[in-house]
Structure 1
Amino acid sequence: MKKVKKKRNKKTKFQFNRSVETSKNTNFDVHKALELGQHFFLEGNFQKAEQIFLQILSQDPQNIIALYSLSCIAYQTGKIDEGIKILRKVTELKSEFPDGYNLLGILFNIKGELQEALNCYKRVIDLEPDYFEVYNNLGNVYEKLGQYEMAILNYINAISLKPDFELAHNNLENAFKKNGNLENTVDNFEKIVPITEENFLRYWNLAKALQDYGYIQLSLKQFHNVLLIKQNHVSTHRSISKLKKYNPDDPQINEMEKLYFSKAINNADKVHLGFAIGKAYEDCKEYEKSFEFILNANKLKRLTYEYSINETVKLTDNIIYFFDRVFKNFQIKKKTSDKTPIFILGMPRSGTSLVEQILSSHSEVYAAGEIADLKNILFHLTNTKDIAKSFDIFGQDPEKVSNLLGILYLKRMRKHSEDSKYITDKDLYNFQLIGLIAFAMPFAKIIHCTRDPMDNCLSIYKNLFSGFHPYAYD
């Protein structure tokens, strides 16, 4: 199995500016013509772009960029056979051209010639092993062929190369759901992928994905496979601690304590292990030992950043002032009637995940998880990442910003799911934006989860969060 590299230079799906040979005809400025053609292509004016690329080819019949650009236009306009014909010529002229083979594979996939598509994608990997998009494309073809273990492997490869590759995450989840016998498929995955150091990221990402999508027992098994590769991987120990209930004889407790007191780990590792060991001793009803580890873990974590509650008080007062004194006087005339979004918000550990799971069990509801789309769009529209300042800018033209906020957010939501009637957004901190939601999307549903304050705060204190919650750990 080819080892997957960790990083790849960022590139778009259809990239034109590769270093390929162009015409040396000084009477015709090929580079300027290419730039103009690419401009029209990106603007969606395919007819004008095609005219320019054909003009280039009349001067330089073997211009790779112009030919490849024409194949992209053929793809965009649904002329699949024409695109394949052009790309065959492209790959004959330039055999080491990953983008060309990738697009050729996409076109063969659309046409249903899956073996041809596989051959093209494998050629891309031979040329550029860290081309993360092509692993996702491979997964798609293997899924169509019913080879789910290979589909899962390739989606995992894509995620290992680009952890925030949303399309690959979505495809992986769908592959899990469509699979009639996921347990057997995961077993076959282990046969295909040796449990060795070079496959550490593959097993880690598989375990995390299974955990995220609710396959607890399968994820536990894969986390244990991760430990077979890296016995001292503290994040895996903590992940396991969240998924199982310990008894006093569990050997993992001793392993974690031995690692905790060794000189092989730093304070950041001790934070992970401290929370994990604390959870284990709580399960065993050894509460004093449990609290000792949790207390130390919180202290170590708290040393890594500075925080004053006055910052939160000031922000909250600003939000209250803005909506109570200023925003209530504005009347938005144009409001979207779209009912797609369901906002689930509240404190961490207040039951938001359970509510999301219950809702997403319905066939018409898609769970998008903890996404920061709304806040990111607001920051983009107001050109600031300061919430208080963004409200001030919002107030200068509330109708325009409100309308754009609703339109852009709903458009972004559809990238998570194209056809679901409802889509949940579980960004807890959307509570700061409830007023904006009411103005921009008045038909959206908002679910505020609450819990007994003491229970809620204790639960926060016992947990290490992936996101940044500055008030925690104290």
Structure 2
Amino acid sequence: MTVSTDSVPLLREAGAALARGDLAAAERAVRAVLRQDANNVVAILMLADVASAVGIYPEAEAQLRRAIALAPDHVEAWVNLALVLVQQRRTDEGLALLDRAIERDPAHVRAAGSKANILAQLGDYDAAASTYEALLARIGDNADVWMWYGHLLKTLGRQDDAVAAYRRATGIAPDLAEAWWSLAELKAGRITDADVATMERALAASPTDPKALFLHFALGKALEDRRDWPRSFARYAAGNRLRLALEPHDRQLVSAEVDRAIRIYDRDFFAARAGWGTPAADPIFILGLPRAGSTLLEQILASHPQIEGTAELPYIPQLVQALVAERWRDRAAAHPEIVTALDSATAAALGARYLESAARHRKTGAPFFIDKLPNNWLYAGFIHLILPNARIIDARRDPMACCFSNFKQHFARGQTFAYSLEDLGAYYRDNVRLMAHLDGAMPGVIHRIQHEALLADPEAEIRRMLDFLGLPFDAACLAPHENKRPVRTASSEQVRRPINRDAVDQWRHYEPWLGPLKAALGLQ
């Protein structure tokens, strides 16, 4: 695959624009290249990247197919096309394409890793494990693959095997920051003093590397386990500063979206749209802030014989983003305004599309299933519009405990509000005021569970929750730790222990440094 020297400056310009998120500038530069050279594969691939970033997946698919026709041996393009197909809910096609890519290049790490990740998202954990094992057999030791395999083993509850996989990864690459963080997250006592010294050396060698934030969070947890609160907080704060510099958060943007949602999603809005959507009653949405106890609620409900736990499904945000993407050149197109343009047939189609996508994750035949994506709280009104008989559980936790737990958790992506104490306080307050409004706008749809009340009297709170769902009490819900289902969230280890209050007041050890959070929450 050759690139004309005349195109190089424009391609560099497009690449820089993509890196900073300026999609319009990237598109202009790429199209300028294609006007000079219509078959420039690099430019075509970049145009596909722009379309994918905007969410116009049919256009991304068309460009990727064009690139593959011109350069059939470019396996990366095959992998990108497979991922675009998955985004369009054509998962079987995507997996088949990844299989073809792996046949062409059996040692292609991204192709096999993408396949394993998709299989895990679908709940096909054994197939995902086999994919990793086959890849490792082909390529020998690879630190990234061992780390990814460790993530899967952790999900399956195979903690000792996960530790061994992470240790294998750090043995191959002692500076693999994410593997150290994953090991630190597993359980108190996993990180030795020698490990701490290794991480500190790696951090000193590359203090400004974006991956250094993993080391800060890992050291924060290791020092927390040693009850060294000042140094632990300093590490958490340093990691968050690095992450915020990479992914800035606009708290005013979130507050403005909440303001508009409160104006639009009122009783009159829903009264005017009575009877809209898909009448299915099987989805149960658990939402709220991350670290508010939603994984425990999911594990409790998934222990009921009539409820299946699936995962944090991405489909509600994807439906909203697709509506916005249809008008991506219109800067005024945004949620929730985009919802006001829907008609009854479209609302029903969106509900049906959600159910079709979620069906891939259902394995047991239970009549109800859980979607536990915390960020769905911003779209609770949209959920009620397209799925009016679905029920919503709002997970709520003490503001200081919840916000600090987010601050010390390194999220993979998408939680930009968690990287500063001030942003956390504002986000928590926005969540509370929107949910309070929706209590009145959608009466009887939302049931709130206060985490501390659940821990204090589990049976009473579980009975109230099941009554809300119209289901009989089942004693299995009192022993969620006995449920061996895979858990793919940061709380996977906690929910494999009996319900306990161990972490309720953990934030108080860090109280001397949490003044900005108290102020942002209005507690000072």
Q: TM-score range by the shorter chain?
A: 0.5 to 0.7
Q: Distance in 2 between matches of 1:248 and 1:216?
A: 14
Asked if 1:129 corresponds to 2:84, the answer is: no
**1:151 corresponds to which residue?**
none
Contact 1:220/1:240 (8 A) holds in 2: yes
Gaps of 5+ in 2: 1-47, 49-59, 70-92, 421-524
Contact 2:283/2:371 (8 A) holds in 1: yes
Q: CA RMSD in A?
A: 4.0
CA offsets 1:188-241 (integer angstroms, 9 cap, x no match): 969x849944x3343222111112233222211111111122121000000001
Contact 1:159/1:169 (8 A) holds in 2: no
Asked if 1:286 corresponds to 2:213, the answer is: no
Contact 2:282/2:367 (8 A) holds in 1: yes
CA offsets 1:311-367 (integer angstroms, 9 cap, x no match): 121111000000127514413335433122111101111111222233334454443
Q: Distance in 2 between matches of 1:361 and 1:174?
A: 21
**Percentage of matched positions with identical amino acids:** 24
Residues 171, 127 of structure 1: alpha-carbon distance in 2 compared, 3 angstrom cutoff: same
**1:389 corresponds to which residue?**
334
Contact 1:344/1:428 (8 A) holds in 2: yes
The structure with higher relative contact order (CA 8 Å, sep 6+) is: 2
Residues 403, 225 of structure 1: alpha-carbon distance in 2 compared, 3 angstrom cutoff: same
Superposed displacement of residue 172, structure 1: 4.3
Matches within 5 A, 1:258-273: 258-262=201-205, 264=206, 266-273=208-215
Which secondary structure does the structure 1 equivalent of 2:274 belong to? coil
**1:330 corresponds to which residue?**
272
**1:450 corresponds to which residue?**
396
Asked if 1:257 corresponds to 2:200, the answer is: yes
What amino acid is aligned across from residue 160 of structure 1 in structure 2?
Answer: G
CA offsets 1:120-171 (integer angstroms, 9 cap, x no match): x9xx789612599xxxxxxxxxxxxxxxxxxxxxxx996415465x246546
Q: Which of residues 354, 372, 378 in structure 1 aligns to 2:320?
A: 378
Residues 364, 454 of structure 1: alpha-carbon distance in 2 compared, 3 angstrom cutoff: same
Asked if 1:354 corresponds to 2:289, the answer is: no
Matches within 5 A, 1:399-438: 399-417=344-362, 419-438=365-384
- TM-score, with length taken from structure 1: 0.60
Gaps of 5+ in 1: 1-8, 20-98, 104-120, 133-155, 177-181
The structure with more radius of gyration: 1
What amino acid is aligned across from residue 288 of structure 1 in structure 2?
Answer: P
What amino acid is aligned across from residue 231 of structure 1 in structure 2?
Answer: P
**2:415 corresponds to which residue?**
469
Which secondary structure does the structure 2 equivalent of 1:303 belong to? helix
**1:341 corresponds to which residue?**
283
Aligned residues: 332
CA offsets 1:104-131 (integer angstroms, 9 cap, x no match): xxxxxxxxxxxxxxxxx9xx78961259
Which secondary structure does the structure 2 equivalent of 1:245 belong to? coil
Q: Distance in 1 between matches of 2:320 and 2:102?
A: 42
What amino acid is aligned across from residue 411 of structure 2 in structure 1?
Answer: F
Residues 336, 253 of structure 1: alpha-carbon distance in 2 compared, 3 angstrom cutoff: same
What amino acid is aligned across from residue 221 of structure 1 in structure 2?
Answer: A
Q: Distance in 2 between matches of 1:335 and 1:440?
A: 4
Residues 205, 269 of structure 1: alpha-carbon distance in 2 compared, 3 angstrom cutoff: closer
**1:46 corresponds to which residue?**
none
Which secondary structure does the structure 1 equivalent of 2:284 belong to? strand
Superposed displacement of residue 407, structure 1: 1.1
Residues 447, 126 of structure 1: alpha-carbon distance in 2 compared, 3 angstrom cutoff: closer
Contact 1:247/1:283 (8 A) holds in 2: no
**2:245 corresponds to which residue?**
303
Q: Distance in 2 between matches of 1:171 and 1:360?
A: 14
**1:41 corresponds to which residue?**
none
Q: Distance in 1 between matches of 2:295 and 2:327?
A: 30
Which secondary structure does the structure 2 equivalent of 1:350 belong to? coil
